[in-house]
Amino acid sequence: MPEKISGTVHRTYFASPKFSAGVLQTDVGDRVRFRGPFCANEGDLVTLVGRWKDDPKYGLQFAADSLSYELPDNADGLIQYLAKHPAFVGVGEATARKIVRHAASAAHLDRLIRQDIDDLRRQLRIPRATLESLREAWIAHSADNEVRSYLAGFGLTHHQMETLLETFGSAVVGVLRADPYQLIRYVKAYGFKKVDKIARAMGTPKDHAGRIQAGLLYVVSDELSSGHTWTAGADLLDKANDLLLLDTLDSRDVIRASADGLLRDGQLVADGNAVTTPLFLETEQYIQSVFDLHGWKERPLPGIPRYSSEPKARQARS
């Protein structure tokens, strides 16, 4: 029979979008080791569901199957969740705003919808049929209402939320708390500037590692969109520095270190002092192979030297 334990994540030994291990300080003050297929962050208030296991290496620990969060009230998130979720038939943004303002908190809203829709009908003059439909759908989705209202606070549509939940499950909250810039990778139409505005409003620091890497990738992508196939390293640092506006005198060194990490991870590639994306380099090499196979051997252009795709020091070019 699965058990539940609640408390605060005291320490994480390892945390990734798909697995975390650490120490939970329970509501009664005990500290227990845990592990599970989710992203947990130090300081999170969570409830774990799973079983106790005696690991031969780490000893007794709680092997969690799932994690849920005690999320703070988020009025905007609740409004967007009620207004955009297709299950809440008849509840548009104006009605959702009235309901959330009247309830004042997520906990009170949950009680009103479950137990006292007559109060909502009297006070807000919302049709009974709409409220009964709302109650039915709210209870049906009770397991993830808090997570969805949190995601709605980002301005995500129902389809976008479903994409994230299918990828990460309820652990998506931990993923986005750890690095909200992962939205850029998983949600279409959410670029750096849009996510940065949201993340900064959430309190994400300017020097967050995910922010710096996302800013660098944005600069390279923007250069490609402008027709510049390679970006000079110095230009990349200058433009990223202007974009990120880090509050430190060694900002260029911090950005350079982040760029080196992207190169090591293969998210960017360099040739001499010029930088581009792996996809563009692959495309460029493919085009060159086509020329090598069909073009230059049969019909070389007079006066134009044969281009070599072999790596060499090059300046950024467009």
Average pLDDT over residues 235-260: 94
Q: Return the C-alpha torsion angle 141, 147, 149, 151, nearest 10.
A: -130
**pLDDT higher for 68 or 223?**
223
- pLDDT number for residue 299: 57
Q: Which residues contact 165 (CB under 8 A, 6 or more apart)?
A: 144, 147, 148, 151, 172
CA dist., res. 124 & res. 225, Å (int): 50
Average pLDDT over residues 187-191: 84
Tell me which range, 76-90, 154-168, 221-235, is most confidently predicted by mean pLDDT: 221-235
Average pLDDT over residues 137-148: 76
299: its two tokens: 């019909």
Q: Which residue has the tokens 């389809």?
A: 159
- At 91-135, the pLDDT tens digits run 988 999 999 999 888 778 888 888 888 888 888 989 988 998 888
Half-sphere exposure of 8 (CA within 13 A, CB side): 6
CA dist., res. 150 & res. 173, Å (int): 8
- pLDDT number for residue 111: 85
- pLDDT number for residue 22: 94
CA dist., res. 235 & res. 210, Å (int): 21
- Contacts of 63-66 with C-beta under 8 Å, sequence gap 24+, read 63/34, 63/35, 63/36, 64/34, 64/35, 64/36, 64/38, 65/2, 65/36, 65/37, 66/36, 66/38, 66/169, 66/170
If you average pLDDT over every residue of the chain, what do you get? 85
CATH for 207-241+252-318 is: 1.10.10
Q: Which residues contact 283 (CB under 8 A, 6 or more apart)?
A: none
**pLDDT higher for 200 or 146?**
200
Average pLDDT over residues 298-306: 58
- pLDDT number for residue 318: 45
Which band of pLDDT confidence, cut at 50, 70 and 90, is reported for residue 274?
very high
Q: Is the pLDDT of residue 285 over 50?
A: yes
- pLDDT number for residue 265: 93
Where do the structural domains in the chain lie, given as residue ranges? 3-69, 71-178, 207-241+252-318
pLDDT > 90: percent of the chain: 34
CATH for 3-69 is: 2.40.50.140
Check if the beta carbon of residue 212 is closer than 8 Å to that of residue 227. no
In degrees and rounded to multiples of 5, residue 80 shows phi and psi of -65, -35
| Model confidence pTM above 0.75 | no
Determine which of 42-56, 234-248, 294-308 has the lowest per-residue pLDDT on average: 294-308
